[in-house]
Amino acid sequence: MAISSETIRKPSKPMVNGFDPASVGNLPDDVQKSIRRRDKSLGPGYRLFYNEPVEVVRAKGVTLFDRDGNDYLDVYNNVPCVGHAHPRVIAAVHEQMQTLNTNTRYIQESILDYSEQLLSTFPSQLGHVMYTCTGSEANDLAMRVAKYATGHQGIIVTSGAYHGLTAEVASFSPSLGVGVPLGANVRVIDAPDALRFSSDNETLDEHLRTQVRGAIADLHRHGIGLAAFIADSIFSSDGIFAEPTGFLRPIIEEVHAAGGLYIADEVQPGFGRTGAEWWGFQRHGIVPDIVTMGKPMGNGIPIAAAVFRPELLEQFGKNIRYFNTFGGNSVAIAAAQAVLDVLREESLMENSLKVGGKILTELKQLTQDLEQVAEVRGSGLFVGVDLVTDRATLTPDGDTASAIVNRLRQERILISASGAQGNVLKLRPPMPFSMSDADRLIEALDRAFKVMH
Ligand code: PMP
């Protein structure tokens, strides 16, 4: 059965563990003042993390600092993937800014060197890269190409997906809630939640296959046809689903059988965060048709990209001019090159595997008898802790997750939570996170778990 978008939409909620503007009066005077200034100039669309928002003035490595010099352990930010203020990235950006900063309509060797190196991290079927400034734009471009190449409009996503903020991409991002209606061409399938999936007559793989088939049939019934299935390869906003590896295979088979394309959104898991591989989709043994990436790509300098099977761009490239004023400019490429170099030279993928593995193993041990922790899961430095009211019903417990996130904030350890009910603690630090950083995090979580009611 295909799930219609109406049945799946949930009312828009305040941001998970976010600051509630109604409680501004409880904060210290100086913080209140900053928040009021912020509201006045930035308006009501922005959100702040934590019940007591954090003001930061500088950062280094895996540490953020406030105005008084207090340190905060960063267990959340994946954008500074090689660490905040990495000297190699700073030097590369500084030098490039002094030398040349222009666009892709001139021949520049640096973008060629970088593109060749980036493409060498992908399976050989993926051979062209196009640059954008944000992950949203990369997904927008990917979907444009998918629609053009297939001649169809239909899109399939998972129920808690987030793919970005343009009108097009928001129309296939169900996690934005009812305020952002899904497109009439969008169909939604269940997230691959192996913990909560139970059936007497099908496996999770079979269930996903059935769901995708149903969605495709429904698109055909409505005369829409399938352009693409798109998924974040680690299902970050759905609640972090990394295992069992291979569950993406039946999906890609069905999508291809229907003439559609598979778009792997690597904005979250990409660039080695998951440990053993450069890209999250590789853990599932599949080769997508298009891969999008962003966030960590320039360690904070805006650069994102979409990588394609070359045949998909043949007609699109011929008939449609692509120019992105800032996308892939000289400074952005310099930052991205430095990131790639540092990831390799400092063995940060290996570090992700090692330190992430320690966090995963120790948190599993620590929580094995806790009724309110249903599962600790993830890959590399991308770990989720699924909190429930009890293990028998597996009812998601977003309130406890929020309490833990805010408790850790008081200990100056910055984490967040994800999942449809905000019940999955999300641990996703910069990649130079050390064993002793992991100890500090695990000890704080241990204290927090002990006081859970
Ligand atoms: N895809 C995923 C999976 C994301 O998490 C995000 C950002 N949170 C985006 C796309 C959009 O990226 P950006 O914010 O750079 O536009």
* pLDDT tens-digit readout, 22-68: 889 999 999 999 999 999 999 999 999 999 999 999 999 999 999 99
In a domain, 16, yes or no: no
* pLDDT confidence of residue 1: 35
In a domain, 325, yes or no: yes
* Among 163, 152, 158, 154, residue whose Cα is nearest residue 184: 154
Q: How far, in Å, is the centroid of ligand 1 from the Cα of 442?
A: 28
* pLDDT confidence of residue 4: 43
Ligand 1 close to Cβ of residue 160 (< 6 A): no
Secondary structure of 315-362 as H, E, C letters: HHHHHCCCCCCCCCCHHHHHHHHHHHHHHHHCCHHHHHHHHHHHHHHH
* pLDDT confidence of residue 253: 98
Q: How far, in Å, is the centroid of ligand 1 from the Cα of 26?
A: 32
**Token pair listed for 439:** 């100890």
Claim to verify: residue 123 and residue 190 sit in the same structural domain:
yes
For 333, phi and psi rounded to 5 degrees? -65, -40
Matching residue, tokens 């990588």: 307
Q: How far, in Å, is the centroid of ligand 1 from the Cα of 135?
A: 5
Claim to verify: residue 99 and residue 74 sit in the same structural domain:
no
Q: How far, in Å, is the centroid of ligand 1 from the Cα of 178?
A: 19
Claim to verify: residue 280 and residue 374 sit in the same structural domain:
no
* Among 135, 98, 130, residue whose Cα is nearest residue 115: 130
Residue 441 three-state SS: helix
Q: At what angle do helices 204-221 and 249-257 cross, to 10 degrees?
A: 20
Claim to verify: residue 94 and residue 235 sit in the same structural domain:
yes
Ligand 1 close to Cβ of residue 168 (< 6 A): no
Given a contact cutoff of 8 angstroms between Cβ atoms, the answer to whether 305 and 118 are in contact is yes
Q: How far, in Å, is the centroid of ligand 1 from the Cα of 424?
A: 18
Nearest CA to ligand 1 atom 10: 163
Given a contact cutoff of 8 angstroms between Cβ atoms, the answer to whether 403 and 423 are in contact is no
* pLDDT confidence of residue 66: 97
Domain count, the chain: 2
Secondary structure of 344-412 as H, E, C letters: HHCCHHHHHHHHHHHHHHHHHHHHCCCCCEEEEEECCCCEEEEEECCCCCCCECHHHHHHHHHHHHHCC
DSSP type of residue 2? P
Claim to verify: residue 116 and residue 232 sit in the same structural domain:
yes
In a domain, 9, yes or no: no
Claim to verify: residue 225 and residue 313 sit in the same structural domain:
yes
Q: Which of 46, 155, 162 has the most ligand 1 atoms within 8 A of CB, as the residue to mutate?
A: 162
Residue where one domain finishes, among candidates 299, 329, 345:
345
In a domain, 246, yes or no: yes
**Token pair listed for 156:** 């399939």
Query: What one-letter code names the amino acid at 368?
Result: Q
How far apart CA 95 and CA 99 sit, in angstroms, is: 6
DSSP type of residue 300? T
Given a contact cutoff of 8 angstroms between Cβ atoms, the answer to whether 396 and 419 are in contact is yes
Q: Which of 46, 140, 267, 299 has the most ligand 1 atoms within 8 A of CB, as the residue to mutate?
A: 267
Q: Which residues pair with 230 in a beta bridge?
A: 263
Given a contact cutoff of 8 angstroms between Cβ atoms, the answer to whether 430 and 382 are in contact is no
* pLDDT tens-digit readout, 106-162: 999 999 999 999 999 999 999 999 999 999 999 999 999 999 999 999 999 999 999
Strand ranges (DSSP E) for 233-276? 261-265
How far apart CA 288 and CA 165 sit, in angstroms, is: 23
In a domain, 5, yes or no: no
Q: How far, in Å, is the centroid of ligand 1 from the Cα of 203?
A: 30
| Residue 246: CATH number of its domain | 3.40.640.10
Containing structural domain, residue 159: 87-345
Claim to verify: residue 64 and residue 203 sit in the same structural domain:
no
In a domain, 312, yes or no: yes
For 17, phi and psi rounded to 5 degrees? 45, 25
Residue where one domain finishes, among candidates 303, 327, 345:
345
Q: Which residues pair with 46 in a beta bridge?
A: none
Matching residue, tokens 């969008």: 186
Ligand 1 close to Cβ of residue 139 (< 6 A): yes
Nearest CA to ligand 1 atom 13: 135
Strand order in the sheet with 290-293: 128-132, 304-308, 290-293, 261-265, 226-232, 154-158, 186-189
Claim to verify: residue 310 and residue 387 sit in the same structural domain:
no
Claim to verify: residue 397 and residue 330 sit in the same structural domain:
no
* pLDDT confidence of residue 58: 98
* pLDDT confidence of residue 10: 46
Claim to verify: residue 210 and residue 263 sit in the same structural domain:
yes
Query: What one-letter code names the amino acid at 320?
Result: I
Dihedral Cα 394, 396, 399, 404, nearest 10 deg: 70
Claim to verify: residue 298 and residue 401 sit in the same structural domain:
no
Ligand 1 close to Cβ of residue 378 (< 6 A): no
In a domain, 118, yes or no: yes
Q: Which of 163, 240, 324, 418 has the most ligand 1 atoms within 8 A of CB, as the residue to mutate?
A: 163
- In this prediction, the residues of the chain whose per-residue pLDDT falls under 70 are 1-17, 453
How far apart CA 377 and CA 383 sit, in angstroms, is: 6
Claim to verify: residue 185 and residue 136 sit in the same structural domain:
yes
**Token pair listed for 146:** 């998918």
Query: What one-letter code names the amino acid at 287?
Result: V
Cα dist. 71→208, 237, 411 in Å?
44, 28, 10
Say if residue 244 is preceded by a cis peptide, omega within 30 of 0: yes
Matching residue, tokens 């007497």: 200
Ligand 1 close to Cβ of residue 267 (< 6 A): yes
Q: How far, in Å, is the centroid of ligand 1 from the Cα of 164?
A: 5
Residue where one domain finishes, among candidates 299, 327, 345:
345
| Residue 68: CATH number of its domain | 3.90.1150.10
- Helical H runs in 172-320? 204-221, 249-257, 310-319
In a domain, 420, yes or no: yes
Going by DSSP bridges, is the β-strand pair 304-308/290-293 parallel, antiparallel, or unpaired? antiparallel
* pLDDT confidence of residue 167: 96
- Helical H runs in 152-299? 167-170, 204-221, 249-257
